[in-house]
Structure 1
Amino acid sequence: MAQHSTTLAQKIKGSLRAATAVETSGVEPIPEDGRSGGPGSSFTLWFSSNVQFSSLSSGMLATAAFGLGWVQALLAIVLGSAVGATAIGVMSTFGPRAGVGLLVQTRVPLGRYGAAVPAVLVFFKACAWFAVNSVLGAFAVQTLMGGGFAPAFALVTLAQVAIALVGYGFIHLVQKAMAVVLPLLFIGVSVYGYAKSDLGSHFAPDKAGALGFTGAFALTIAVQAARALSFSSYAADYTRYMPAGTPPRRLFACAFTGTWLGSVWIASLGAAIGTIAFIGTPTDLVGQVLPGALATVTMLALGLSTITSSCLDCYSGALAWLIAGVKMARWQAVLVVGVIGGAIGWTTGQGDYWKSFENFLILLGNWIAPWLAVMLVHRFRARAQSPTPHFGTGFASWLLGLAAAVPFMSQPGVYVGPIAKDHPALGSCAAAVAFLTAGLAHYALTRVHRRPTAPHTHTAHTNKEIPA
């Protein structure tokens, strides 16, 4: 018995040492003998990453801004979360088979130069999310500890960067711990929030305006899906160290379930709170909804959740920067994301962010959706291909998807397309139009240009499709 306990303690100690060792790999393929872990870690990572204030915010938009009743908002949140969770689940399966992140694999259908475009977009997306979460986390820490915004903002940003600097193993370790801690901390605010909210609320036409019920419902689905879709571009980054033989279906199920449960829980709570108050920042929860002791616990939960979520943006943003062609070490790229994201957050994040937050989420879906469509078509029906030196058929398909979405885009104050202007209810369809157009275009173009080569049957082990 004593020997068994000693062996278990040694294993735990060894696992902790490995998880806290600074990662030395960049974007190159991970060799098979350097891989470990299993699908379960994808559940904890995506569950804890969705238990955060931005999930609460996206749910609150449904009732407080778009005018849906709580039950209507819940249905839209369930559907939108399922769309985003499906994307994360599918894209998570891309990591083990090739040992590299999704952006590296993008070089095959889009070409080496073409793949640099989404890499740059992912980099700036990561910086923007880092900024959003840093500000929200700073508000929570400031409310919890008192003092000025500056020290709270510095604490949050430094914590996020520190986790990303250590790297892959430490991120998974932190997320496993938070998958236990955050639910415990959020239980109180959930019980209180649901009890105080008007769960029997009805549709409010005055809030929906020209959208009407159909438009408000569709927009809630789009916003909720876009939030998770933005994470899907990172998904393979956190599975690329898993063995090539990791069962895809099990990996999909773990990533999907973790994302969907975390998203639906916190977003539906946000929708419930939105029936009684419009919460602009975490600080407003204290003044308008929560009593003292519960408010303290909630601020702790929100501070921790924004840090554990935003470290993903810092880590994956750094990898995107390297894939875009910048020559530097991974840790240096992490600092670049931290500096740019921190500067954006400090400069623009201390005011009212609601309309910008809504537009930001929708714009993310508009360009990520056609890119994911290209990757799905490439993965499930294309024959083995060699990466083109410039721009592949996938890049053309991606551009066609974006072009098709333009008339449907609706970001008031930024751009409203002609179809969205004449039919506001269709303004939430841009991402779906982009996805379908890009997918169909890539399917057609690869049928025309496909060379008669043998099907790729062992890509996961050989990495023949993945350029160095």
Structure 2
Amino acid sequence: MSRIQTVKKSGPVIERRSIDFVPHAERHGRPFGQFTLWFGANMQITAIVTGALAVIFGSDAFWGIIGLFIGNLLGGTVMALHAAQGPKLGMPQMISSRAQFGVFGAVIPLVLVIVMYLGFAATGAVLAGQAVEQIVPTGHPALGVIIFGILTVLVATLGYKYIHLLGRISTIVGILGFSYLAIQLFLKHDVGAVLGVGGFAFPTFLLAISLSAGWQLTYGPYVADYSRYLPANTPARRTFISCFSGSVLGSQWSMTLGALFAAIAMPKGHEFLDGQVAFVGELAGGGAIAVLMYIVIVVGKLTVNTLNAYGGYMTILTSVSAFTRQLRFAPWVRFAYVIGFITVSVIIAIFASDDFVSNFKNFVLLLLMVFIPWSSINLVDFYLTSKEKVDVPALYDPKGRYGAWNVPALLTYALGIVVQIPFLAQTMYTGPMTEVLGGADISWLVGLVVTAVVYYPVAKRFSHPPAEMVYPEDLDAAPVASAVSPTV
């Protein structure tokens, strides 16, 4: 079987591709770049807060950490399966949803993805803004959020190559900073005594699993955006392992620290709950070393917030292009969309700072209900029904193979959301099955399994995948092996 020939080059300073197919002559990079990107993106303060939530909402620190690890493994597997699609498809993650939902039908989950990006960008900006304010005191907390937003716009506008560069920087900075925090934690506190407090409680254990699984699963709609430039013949297992290990290791490290921080702070009056960034600075030792830790926080948050802005911009373009049929956009369009996106997220951040931790917990768990069915449908179709064969040009044509609307898939998606409702454990609503389970939220697991079981026979009957992978003609006239499945 023929291999697609690629020319590995880094491309222009400012990325010129957006939602269009990345020609094989422009593919470059190695799977290890996925490790550093996702490790660095998870070495950040919001992941620490997520780990702390497991303890703050009732879990024992030891069992909370175990639950967080299980959730990271489960969610990281789904996340990395999405990442492995990137090199083969050569396009943003949500464009591939058109193969399941139709060119117009895919806009429905796309709108929900945009909301997700805005939510994470806004909640992340709250904590990053606090860190910026500690580094450069202005007397106005909102200015820290605005400064952070400007930095995000800069990197997201430059594009793919600089996002990966930031991931490498964040990996190094995160390892140094978080290692120092861990050492200080063990030197200043009796961590062993904290781990021995309390006992196993099934509902809070499941809550810890849900928090970390939700953290990983919400990467699914954009993780392939950052692997799509890899050569098409990159072995899928290498992409999977790189993304999986980077994301799971980075998030588990951060969440473990968060669980321990919360357990240490709880007897002292919820110090961590009241001010996460200030707590980290105090633990670091105050003074200049605290400022360095605030810089670590800003770098980590900048990495993941750039992913949100970049992914949000491409998701908006994907929605718009479904109706306009436009495939390529100039770099200035990215700049305009990113500015608009970050402006909205900054406004949300400024007005959503109060009661941040509680709102964040509910936000993460709510996202699970929405995105679990999407992930299940996308993965079942790609790996089990289509057998990793996609007609890429048809993804841009509502009159093509995938059509405008795939009603059976959309109905299955709706079912996947509805079946979770009785199992929800939200502040606004607690399902009857949740009460039977003692307050444990397993809605994400129900949605994952039920959607997959229902969708598989539906896809076998209604989907019409190509016999081989079909690529578009290379827009730059570079040699491309069309209708050839790359060796992986």
* 1:301 matches 2:296: yes
Number of equivalenced pairs: 438
Query: Which one has the bigger helix percentage?
Result: 1
With normalisation by structure 1, the TM-score equals: 0.88
**Which residue identity lines up with residue 279 of structure 2 in the other structure?**
L
**Which residue identity lines up with residue 456 of structure 1 in the other structure?**
E
Match of 2:312 among 304, 314, 317: 317
CA contact (8 A) 2:156 2:307 kept: yes
Q: Which has the higher mean CA deviation after the structures are superposed, 80-89 or 265-274?
A: 80-89
Match for residue 208 of structure 2? 220
* 1:418 matches 2:413: no
Match for residue 355 of structure 1? 358
CA contact (8 A) 2:214 2:365 kept: yes
Match of 1:240 among 216, 228, 253: 228
Alpha carbons of 1:464 and 1:116: their partners in 2 closer, same or farther (altered >3 Å)?
farther
Q: Deviations over 1:393-424 (max 9, x none)?
A: 32222111111111111111x22222224433
Secondary structure at 1:246 match in 2: coil
Secondary structure at 1:324 match in 2: helix
Q: Deviations over 1:118-157 (max 9, x none)?
A: 1111111111111111111010111223222133222111
Secondary structure at 1:387 match in 2: coil
* Aligned-pair CA distance for 1:455: 3.2
Aligned pairs for 1:262-281 within 5 A:
262-277=250-265, 278=270, 279-280=272-273, 281=275
CA contact (8 A) 1:140 1:282 kept: no
Match for residue 477 of structure 2? none
With normalisation by structure 2, the TM-score equals: 0.84
Alpha-carbon distance in 1 for matches of 2:190, 2:254: 14
* Aligned-pair CA distance for 1:199: 3.4
* Aligned-pair CA distance for 1:346: 1.3
Q: Deviations over 1:163-189 (max 9, x none)?
A: 101111110111112211221122211
* 1:118 matches 2:122: no
Alpha-carbon distance in 2 for matches of 1:251, 1:74: 27
* Aligned-pair CA distance for 1:458: 5.8
Alpha-carbon distance in 2 for matches of 1:241, 1:231: 18
CA contact (8 A) 2:64 2:259 kept: yes
Alpha carbons of 1:333 and 1:464: their partners in 2 closer, same or farther (altered >3 Å)?
farther
CA contact (8 A) 2:78 2:217 kept: yes
* 1:436 matches 2:436: no
Alpha-carbon distance in 2 for matches of 1:287, 1:333: 35
Match for residue 331 of structure 1? 335
Match for residue 245 of structure 2? 257
Alpha carbons of 1:382 and 1:282: their partners in 2 closer, same or farther (altered >3 Å)?
same
Match for residue 395 of structure 1? 410
* 1:373 matches 2:376: yes
CA contact (8 A) 1:163 1:170 kept: yes
Runs (5+) with no aligned partner, structure 1 = 1-13, 206-211
Alpha-carbon distance in 2 for matches of 1:103, 1:372: 11
**Which residue identity lines up with residue 299 of structure 1 in the other structure?**
Y
CA contact (8 A) 1:42 1:239 kept: yes
Alpha-carbon distance in 2 for matches of 1:297, 1:141: 11
CA contact (8 A) 2:131 2:277 kept: yes
Match for residue 3 of structure 1? none
CA contact (8 A) 1:397 1:439 kept: no
**Which residue identity lines up with residue 401 of structure 1 in the other structure?**
G
**Which residue identity lines up with residue 135 of structure 1 in the other structure?**
V
Aligned pairs for 1:15-414 within 5 A:
18=11, 21-68=13-60, 70-148=61-139, 149-195=141-187, 196-200=189-193, 201-202=195-196, 204=198, 213-277=201-265, 278=270, 279-280=272-273, 281-285=275-279, 289-293=283-287, 294-325=289-320, 329-349=333-353, 351-383=354-386, 386-412=401-427, 414=428
Percentage of identical aligned residues: 25
Match for residue 396 of structure 2? none
**Which residue identity lines up with residue 130 of structure 2 in the other structure?**
F
Q: Which has the higher mean CA deviation after the structures are superposed, 181-190 or 257-266?
A: 181-190
**Which residue identity lines up with residue 312 of structure 1 in the other structure?**
L
* Aligned-pair CA distance for 1:263: 0.8
Alpha-carbon distance in 1 for matches of 2:30, 2:411: 36
* Aligned-pair CA distance for 1:84: 2.2
Secondary structure at 2:232 match in 1: coil
Alpha-carbon distance in 2 for matches of 1:145, 1:457: 52
* Aligned-pair CA distance for 1:463: 7.6
CA contact (8 A) 1:126 1:337 kept: no
Alpha-carbon distance in 1 for matches of 2:469, 2:103: 23
Secondary structure at 1:231 match in 2: coil
Secondary structure at 1:415 match in 2: coil
Deviating beyond 4 angstroms after TM superposition, the runs of 4 or more aligned structure 1 residues are 202-205, 457-465
Alpha-carbon distance in 1 for matches of 2:16, 2:72: 34
Secondary structure at 1:425 match in 2: coil
CA contact (8 A) 2:40 2:250 kept: yes
* Aligned-pair CA distance for 1:287: 7.3
Runs (5+) with no aligned partner, structure 2 = 1-8, 391-400, 473-480
Alpha carbons of 1:464 and 1:389: their partners in 2 closer, same or farther (altered >3 Å)?
farther
* Aligned-pair CA distance for 1:448: 2.9
Alpha-carbon distance in 1 for matches of 2:58, 2:402: 44
Q: Deviations over 1:41-78 (max 9, x none)?
A: 1000000000001110011112232231x321221121
**Which residue identity lines up with residue 324 of structure 1 in the other structure?**
S
Q: Which has the higher mean CA deviation after the structures are superposed, 265-274 or 323-332?
A: 323-332
**Which residue identity lines up with residue 358 of structure 1 in the other structure?**
K
Alpha carbons of 1:445 and 1:197: their partners in 2 closer, same or farther (altered >3 Å)?
farther
